Structure 1
Amino acid sequence: MSSTTVDHCIRYTNPDNKELDMTFSFHHLKVDYPNGEKWALAPFDFLKLKEILSYWQTGMYAGGGWNALFWCNHDQPRVVSRYGDDGAYRVKSAKMLATAIHMMQGTPYIYQGEELGMTNPKFTDISSYRDVESLNM
């Protein structure tokens, strides 16, 4: 459901339609992609993130739909490194982000390590990464 709409997701997840229990929207993950380019990161736009999350929360609630909530996955940077501060405020950032996701309506998904406030690795060369996307760039 990466680029679908709230209206479509309401149709899919409204219990009266007996289709899906929830949908994953990836719109909030694109707030730091300049011109939609995943590998050319820019500072994230906090206001845009807030607007997207609010739009999906209010829209899905009003239409009887249900969100799957998540900050990151295997294709994304660690949430504390991305939207928080992985230095001096790592613990506070992790707690704030965990609180935010658990206070929204929907089912929260916690990516492995997120419960510990895990940060991005500090590799200095692309060859140190051993995942499909970095190897096939």
Structure 2
Amino acid sequence: MRANLSDELMEAINEAIYLDLELHIIEKRMMEAEKKGNKGFAEHLNVLFYKVSSKRKANKQYLKDNGITVYDPVKVDEFFVEYPYSQKVSDGGYKEGTNRYWRSAMTFNLKKRMGGYFKGG
């Protein structure tokens, strides 16, 4: 269920979710590269990690300035995952909602986004 938020804020929530997942993937690949002794690739991933984490920090600050909190994902079933979020409004209440994602679509979108980092994008 979607809360009554602007499209700009919904895009920022979506971006926050994907940036968190990207950081997790980069960190995992960095650990694998260090274990295999591939220092050049590990250094590239380290630079990429800081670049993506700075994007994430700016996005989180934007969400915080607008009173939005994105919570940990909730696994609905083997196909879907939900990300609950809330916005604190000025009259003392909260607007709550969830974004439901199809796991296969998230995997596809992450492959496209991560491809931009590794294919010169």
**TM-score bucket (shorter structure):** under 0.3
Which structure is richer in relative contact order (CA contacts within 8 A, separation 6 or more)? 2
Which structure has greater helix proportion? 2
TM-score (norm 2): 0.26
Which structure has greater strand proportion? 2
